[in-house]
Each structure stands twice: as structure tokens, then as C-alpha cells.
Amino acid sequence: MLTSNEPIRLWIDTDTSGLFWSGLDCDDDLAVLAALSLHKRQILHLDGISICGGNAPLSHTWQDIHALWEHADGFQITNVQPVKGYGRRSMQVAVGWLRWYNKIRQDGMDSEDASTAIIERSRDKSLDPAHILMLGPPTNLAKAIDSGLLDQAGVSHVYLMGGELTQQTLDLNFRTDRASARTIIESNIPTTIIPIQTCAQTIVTKSYLERLDCPSMAACAILPKMNQQIKLMPRFVNQAVKKRCSLGEDYGPWMPSPNLDKGFIPWDLVALLAITHEEEFLKWKYHGVSIPTCDDHIGEPCNSTMIVSEDLGETFDGRDWSGVVRIPHKVRNEEQLLDLMFALLNEVPAISVHPPAMFWGFYGEILLSICLCITIVLIRYMKKV
């Protein structure tokens, strides 16, 4: 638990895709902007930001963060530039259609820069140990741990946006690289997970978008994607989430937002605020958890589950964190948490009232392929005529 009045030294690892129509969500971008606001408030000090693949291919997330960082003048605020990490080439893509797409259109080349930067930060004795927030697949940090070069004493706490508490299919972050999630959880680094059940207690609806001071705020660039998410997520994601929160008292105290059918879950904003505003969450508990290994002939992600094996209660001696995580089970007040989120988003102005254009992503490739097929059919038809 955080007790110091000093700014929290924070490193964020993320898979931003909110400026891509084909990106799977937009909350990574929103969390980055909220972190800039918290940096300005001196609640946290953003030590670094690294990029991975996940919601979109690394080639897209890398392009996204540069457009967002420039639009929000991120370097001027933090004196930090994003560093590139690992993408889907080094992950076990769990969703069938994403795996299919990845075979046809392989992701861009991985980079060791993010893991190297995390290692260097952990070994910098001139700074207090860092908190590391993993908002996408946790590959970059796991690679740093596996290298044997990470100074674990230089990492105060790891926060993973991911996990599922009822032994059903995991969230996309953990499913995309279960092996890396296992590496982190089995390490002796203090770890908190912000799972599906906690995040589902907060929903962004259309009325909250109207609170943004547009076009002057950087978050306004994400409005097209937020509107898309409000339309699509209730149908394609939230119904499955609702079932995970309604399995009875044998599983937990979770009550999903009553607006689950009306908007999108701001997953990564919830995770960020679980670090900086712990008082907005209740029922913090320690749990024994494990991510079962897969048979060698099957390989990851096999059954895509995580086992929550033991409730250790509200206190923990902290002597051995291997296989132990801390979890906030309940959002204190959904409306207050949303108010805080949008207050933060309204504190990061854009460098221009003209936002960067949305990228088509693989939608453009699909459209081009369709046009090409139609052209071929027409040419053949004309030859017959």
C-alpha cells in the first residue's frame, strides 16, 4: 500500500490503439493521457513509457503512441519519449481470428529496447524504486525478468491490468501471453492485478463523452474510437463480462455496472487509478494464484485460464510474493471514479484543435483486398463480353 506523499515513480507499458479503427479498444490511450494529468498534478512521476503489441499489432501501437504523444505534447510534460518493445511475434496470440490475421500479415519486428530500458531503470540507484504498470500483454517486463539482469530491488510493485477470478477464459492481455503473466506472478516482486471483475464495475457511457472540453483537449482525438466502443462493446464484449460477475457469493463480491449494456469498460483507466487513488477501491485482498502450464505438445495458451487457489485475507507478511497477488475487488463509487477520470482527461490540452486523423489499420487492407477482387472479377467479365 502506498503511504508516501512523494509522487509515485511510475513506468507504464501499454498497447495503445485508440487512433486505429481496427484497434480493439481505446482505454490505453485514455490511461496515457490521464497519467500525463497525474504527472502534472505531481501525484505521479512518469519515469518511462514502453510499447508492446496486443490490442493491435506492434506496428500499429507504435504508430499510435507517437501520434498521441505529439498531440498531447507528452515529451514537454514529462521529458520522456516512448520506447519500442515486443509484439505478437513473441506472444501466443490466443484469439482465433487474430492468430489467423497474424499468420497472413505478420507483425512488425520486435525490439529489445523496452525491456532494456526497464532493466536500466531498475538498476538506477539515484532514483527510488519504480512502480510498473502493465496495461497490455506483460511481455516486455517478463523478458526483463527472464534476462536475469533486472534488479528486483529497483521495482517497488508491479500492477497487471488483467486476470480472471472465476477460472473462466482469461482477459485478452493475459491470454495473449500467459507465459509472461506466469513469469511475473511467480517472481518475488510484489504484484497487484486489476481483473475483469473489478473493471466491469465502471462503464463509460455517451453522457460522459459530452463532458470533454472539445476540441481543446487531447482526449478529443479519441472521441471517434470512444463512440465506436460504446456501440460495439455492449454486444461483443460486455455480455460475456456480465456472466463472470454473476456467479454467486461462492466466487466473490462483484456487482457489474448497471450500465454494462450502454457503454465500454475503461479497463486501463481503472488500473491506473488503482495505483494513484487506492481509496476509490474496497475489499483489497491477497490471493494465491497460478497460471497452469501447458503440455509441450499443445503449447500456450492451451486452456486460457488462471487459478485463484487461496484467499489470504486483507493482510500479508510480504516475505514471499511468488504466486501471491493483491486484488481490489470493489469500486467504491462508480460515478465518483468516472468523474475523476474525466476531470483528468480535461487537464491535458492538445497542441492543436485539429486532431490527428484516425488510421484505418487492417480495415484498409481488407477494403483494398475487396477492391482488388472486384477489379479482377470485372476484368475477367469484360474479357468474356
What pLDDT was estimated at residue 91?
Answer: 92
pTM here is 0.93
Three-state secondary structure call for residue 280: helix
What pLDDT was estimated at residue 4?
Answer: 61
Residue 240 phi, psi (nearest 5): -70, -35
What single string gives the DSSP state of each residue in 83-151?
A: EE---GGGS---SHHHHHHHHHSPPPPP-SHHHHHHHHHHT-TTSPPEEEEE-S-THHHHHHHHTT---
Does residue 26 contact residue 222 with C-beta atoms inside 8 Å?
Answer: yes
Query: Which amino acid makes up residue 208?
Result: Y
Does residue 131 contact residue 10 with C-beta atoms inside 8 Å?
Answer: yes
| pLDDT mean by block of 10 residues, the chain; 385 residues | 79 98 95 98 98 95 98 98 96 79 83 98 97 98 98 98 93 93 97 97 97 98 98 95 72 83 98 98 96 82 84 92 97 98 98 96 65 66 62
Per DSSP bridges, beta strands 281-290 and 324-331 are: antiparallel
Nearest to 306 by CA among 16, 94, 26: 94
Distance CA 244, CA 297 (A): 30
Q: How far is CA 2 from CA 7, 43, 84, 162, 337, in A?
A: 10, 12, 29, 21, 19
What single string gives the DSSP state of each residue in 37-97?
A: HHHHTTSEEEEEEEE--SSS-HHHHHHHHHHHHHHTTHHHHHS---EE---GGGS---SHH
Q: What is the 3-state secondary structure (H, E, C) of 164-181?
A: CCCCCCCCHHHHHCHHHH
Distance CA 48, CA 59 (A): 20
What pLDDT was estimated at residue 245?
Answer: 85
Could you tell me the three cell numbers for 281? 477501491
What pLDDT was estimated at residue 112?
Answer: 98
What pLDDT was estimated at residue 97?
Answer: 74
What pLDDT was estimated at residue 46?
Answer: 98
Could you tell me the three cell numbers for 146? 527472464
Query: Which amino acid makes up residue 111?
Result: S
Nearest to 198 by CA among 129, 275, 131, 265: 265
Which residues are paired to 51 by β-bridges?
A: 14, 84
